[in-house]
Amino acid sequence: MTALRKASALAAALAAMAALAFTGPPAGAASARADVAITLPGATGTEGVAKGAGSTFYAGDLLTGDVYRGDARHGTATKFVHAPAGRFATGMKADLRHHLLFVAGGPTGQGYVYSTLTGAPVASYTFAVAPTFINDVALTDAGAWFTDSSRAVLYFVPVRGGSPRAFSTLHLSGPAADLSGAFNSNGIQATADGSRLLVAHSGQGAVNVVNPRTGASRAIAGLSVPNVDGILLDGRTLWVVRNNDNLVVKAQLSDGLRSGTVLRTITSSLFETPTTVALVAGKVLVANAKFDTGFPPTATSYEVVAIDR
């Protein structure tokens, strides 16, 4: 892709993100407690956060593709991955068993894999060319799934013998295939056995269950989550980030993932367009994207917000 086409693709992607901009917390939302901002020194933006081993977490620099490694207990972070030029970092997940960090590349149409031991690049993939936005990552025992907010597909990178292999494309059908929104498929999670994928749909304000073999999908009934971004599945508890509403929702799913009920709404005075969520060392960690400052964001500092569970 030429430099001009790359710039055009980024401008289009950031313009679409503007539809998800901050509008302020809704009335009646519960207040968060014991909130701490963990600064990412020198970051030019952030969007993704992921759990590492113990109290370790990872967070990306949106506009450079660099990745920070932090400690949720000590409230510190330092740059860990110095990404090659031209990369972006949106959602990410750490495969602790194979010491691999999978990072979505946003408008580049790419996905990246780094070593969690050294921060060195392991592999990179070009999933698609513009229009595309590789948004988030989910892990199963077999590999990593990536969402594309501009296309009705998911991408799968298998891991065999501890190494990532060639990717495949899963075509979606049903509600998860809807492309009518500015952003469509967004956050993604897998059940513990990998038999089902949960895919957030920003345009629908819903979470869909996807069959990873066929791509068929259905909505989780009763779970209305406007402006949904990143999601996190912990057993039958689903954590949902609603970015332009400046809050995180904790929901309970039925055993068959047929329906969901909101249990709690979390807000914080430190939230500034949160995007993704991770559970680390008894804390709820939320990436503070600060898209309310502009596109690209123009804040002077970026952080991960830590809240007691």
Please count the structural domains in the chain: 1
pLDDT at residue 309 in the model: 83
- For the record, the structure tokens of 148 come out as 């594309």
Mean pLDDT split into 10-residue runs, the chain, 309 residues: 40 50 41 80 98 98 98 98 98 98 98 98 98 98 98 98 98 98 97 98 98 98 98 98 97 97 96 98 97 93 95
CA torsion 214→186→106→80, rounded to 10°?
-100
End-to-end CA distance of the chain: 44
- How many residues would you count in the chain? 309
CATH number of domain containing 98: 2.120.10.30
User: For residues 157 and 144, is the Cβ–Cβ distance under 8 A?
Assistant: yes
DSSP labels for 238-255?
EEEEEGGGTEEEEEEE-T
Contacts of residue 277, defined as CB under 8 A and 6 or more positions apart, other chains included, come to 49, 230, 231, 232, 239, 240, 241, 248, 284, 285, 286, 287
User: For residues 93 and 197, is the Cβ–Cβ distance under 8 A?
Assistant: no
Domain carrying residue 75: 3-308
Cα 303 from Cα 297, distance rounded (Å)? 13
User: For residues 166 and 159, is the Cβ–Cβ distance under 8 A?
Assistant: no
Find, among 99, 195, 179, 100, the residue nearest to 147 by Cα: 179
User: For residues 264 and 273, is the Cβ–Cβ distance under 8 A?
Assistant: no
Q: Which residues pair with 125 in a beta bridge?
A: 111
pLDDT at residue 14 in the model: 52
DSSP labels for the chain?
--HHHHHHHHHHHHHHHHTT----PPTTPPBP-S-EEEE-TT-S----EEE-STTEEEEE-TTT--EEEEETTTTEEEEEE-PPTT-----EEEETTTTEEEEE-BTT-EEEEEETTT--EEEEEE---SS--EEEEEE-SSEEEEEETTSSEEEEEEEETTEE---EEEE--GGGG---SSS-EEEEEE-TTSS-EEEEETTTTEEEEE-TTT--EEE-BT---TTEEEEEEETTEEEEEEGGGTEEEEEEE-TTSSBEEEEEEEB-TT-SSEEEEEEETTEEEEEE--GGG-SS---S--EEEEEE-
User: For residues 101 and 67, is the Cβ–Cβ distance under 8 A?
Assistant: yes
pLDDT at residue 295 in the model: 82
pLDDT at residue 34 in the model: 74
